[in-house]
Structure 1
Amino acid sequence: MTGIALLIPGGRGQLGTDLLRCGRGVVGDGDLVHGPGSAELDITDADSVDTAVAGLAASAAEAGVRPVVINAAAYTAVDAAEADEASAMRVNRDGPARLADACTTHDVALMHVSTDYVFPGDADRPYEPADPTGPRSAYGRTKLAGERAVLDRCPQAWVVRTAWVYGAAGGNFVKTMIRLEASRDTLSVVADQIGSPTWTGDLAAGLIELAGRVAAGQAPVRRVLHCTNAGQASWFEFARAVFAEIGADEARVSPCTTADFPRPAPRPAYSVLSGNAWAGEGLTPLRPWREALAVAFREHRDELRGEPVG
């Protein structure tokens, strides 16, 4: 891989943690990979963002490598956004706009992580990057606005949509299922929402590969790409797979409908993202979701269970 320096806003979050680990493993020089959390870098603060991106560009120039920002910072409280779309918009649209402006000023490439929620969720086949968007939630609207801001403001920007993310850091569906398995005899989990469970370890590796390609002057022609683990499942099937990984009886998980558990924000009924464009650009397709889940448990069982590590 051509030399690269990385700035990862949101570096203390679920995806950011794996991006930081993966980036340091690939780059080798820890001084060239920074993953500030929101307390260290507020992406809605234009001055702070410009300072951080300028610092990245300077460090890269000194080391003779290419600077790339991978934005993993986001407002992800899907239900809360319905009542406070303005706050979500500040982080999911205005923040990426600030990053895009700074990256353009300092000649830095930008990868921006987005979501399946930009689509209406009524498809009958996996969504391609160029398919019409139509978010049905405040969260989805703010993320789509962020995509547009990034692409409009930065000529060296790429948007990567993903879905149903879980990792060793932070809270997620896998950890919730493990916690509920320990406290309830049976569970009812929605079976009429379909997506692609995606492990942050694999997603991070894909994003770092993309960053390396851009740094090497082999940037994808398409500026919007999809990256998820392969295949699809319902939340019900995903929950049963988690039970299987921890040795619990899968029969304790029963299916229910979305209508049985109404939420403030509408969820996409079908949000599988096609990886055709990703593979078409020569990027490595992510492994099947069920295989990835098994690897995640093999490598991070204690963290997923919420147990102390070390």
Structure 2
Amino acid sequence: MAMANNKRKCHTCDRENNTYTCEGCSKRFCSTHIPEHQQRLIDELNHISHGYNEFKQRINEQKQNPQNHPLIKQIDQWETNSIEKVQQKAQDCREIIIEFLRTFINAIEMKFNDLNRQIQQLHKENDFNEINLNYLRNQLRKITEELNNPSNISIQQNSQPCINDISIISTKISKFNKWKQNGITVAGGNGKGKKLNRFNFPYGIFIDKKKNIFIADLGNDRIVEWKYNAKKGQIIAGGNRLANRMNQLKYPTDVIVDQQNHSIIIADWCNSRVIQWINRNRQILIPNIGCYG
């Protein structure tokens, strides 16, 4: 964290004293409170590191136990809920059938008893012929069919299911990760610095149709164009120290090239603006905006 000595008010105690400017937040602190500010930055870095370690642990756990992934648990819960719904629906239908059968079988039994009395009567009187036998035979067949296939109740499967169907929707994972072992450096790669073959925290890039790369070199407060197969880049915006003049940038995070009108549009983070450069003409497109992320 680079500091500049100057007598101004301290951001923390609001007293005028020799202060030091933090280039990260552009606030001034006295010698008493600058260590506190530095410690806060250290604490924030430690917090980020802790989050990184937790994230790494989660990745390792999911690699070793993919069945514990929240999506798998969501499917398991759907399965449990669906089974419960099906079981409850089946039980409700069973109870309806059982209640129906009580009444239905009683009615069939009454018909059977009546037919049985007629048979007993014929045995007793011993006066019957083929007509009587055919009648008894037909009546027995009818009540047998009625018992086996009740005409006033049936099971119908609805076209609308009682459970919600699920499906897996996924986008294909980019195959670019297969190229990691064969990657080549296309810009920079010569260490950190301000030379035209180096970068200081390159943050955003844009690639045009000719495969030229435009880099938002955040730590050097500049936009660099690196032509295809070139050994070094050239500054096309900024690079005049970090400040808020129209020819200066302060931690640019992204760049877009408008090839139709030969202009570049820059997210100038710490100046809270989006600025357009057309040759030597510059204009602010969006002021007072937090263009970071």
Greater helix fraction, Structure 1 or Structure 2: 1
| TM-score normalized with structure 2 length | 0.17
TM-score for the superposition, normalised by structure 1? 0.17
User: RCO higher in 1 or 2 (8 Å CA, sep ≥ 6)?
Assistant: 1
Structure with the larger strand share: 2
